[in-house]
Structure 1
Amino acid sequence: MALMTLTPAEARELEGRELGVTDWKEVTQELVDLFARATGDRQWIHTDPERAARESPFRRTIAHGYFTLALVPAFFYELLEVRDCRMLINFGANEVRWPAPVPVPSRVRLRARIAEVENTSRSFTLHVEATIEVEGQAKPAMNARVLFRYYV
């Protein structure tokens, strides 16, 4: 999907708009292991391919749920750039659900829609319906409402 570049005034008018989908990103065991090391969540279902092959109902390792949530900002920046802002912060995430696992290895992408735009005089917040899709899987790996606050 092509990057949409907007001014703050244009971005404030995005409510209800589908932004599209990103390119696919490979989820590798190396990335999952790095996330496990960074967070201290070293459960074998994420980090031990041999044991997962024997004991997991998924028959291989799966990515952490929070790993998929952590991918959202970088994916989102592939879809939308707002020029002339002083800064952007990740403001929060609501209604986060993980209906299906992300098997390792696999490829994932973000589908994003602007559900709401909250305006103030010095900032605006985009409420993004974020869905992480897994290539070849009908059920999404994650659904969330992610909030990005832009300061103008």
Structure 2
Amino acid sequence: MGRVAEPAPEASVRPLPAAAGLGGSVQVRHVDAGSCNGCEIEIGQAFSPVYDVERHGVRLVASPRHADVLTVTGPVTVNMAGPLRKTYEAMPEPRLVVAVGDCARDCGMFADGYGVLGPVSDVVPVDVQVPGCPPEPAAIASALRGLTGR
């Protein structure tokens, strides 16, 4: 039967100048800064056999010391600001940050919550934003694929 997968989504993000130093593949570390878990489910689907972003050179890693890209979901809560900053600082340069979902971009439905510090861009610099609540796996795959320069 062969490989059962959807066609590769078109890259909606132009390769960033910093991505040129990544060598055509990216290692991704993910941080949930306070999300409802909807975006994590969609990120998981982007790495599933259907969307299979690994075939485009994108791989999840367990340590920020091995990562080129940091994906962040959810609004940054007061308790997650420090760990998010430390994760970002532990990454080698060049490093890129992808804010996944509306909450990561502008706090979404959690704006003005008592435990919410603010969007990801208030804590670490953001290079790419993926809109949606939650964004579709194809949009996440497209954004990550755009970072590989492919």
TM-score under structure 2 normalisation? 0.22
- Give the helix-richer structure, 1 or 2: 2
Greater relative contact order, per chain length (Cα 8 Å cut-off, separation 6+): 2
TM-score under structure 1 normalisation? 0.21
Q: Rg bigger for which structure? A: 1
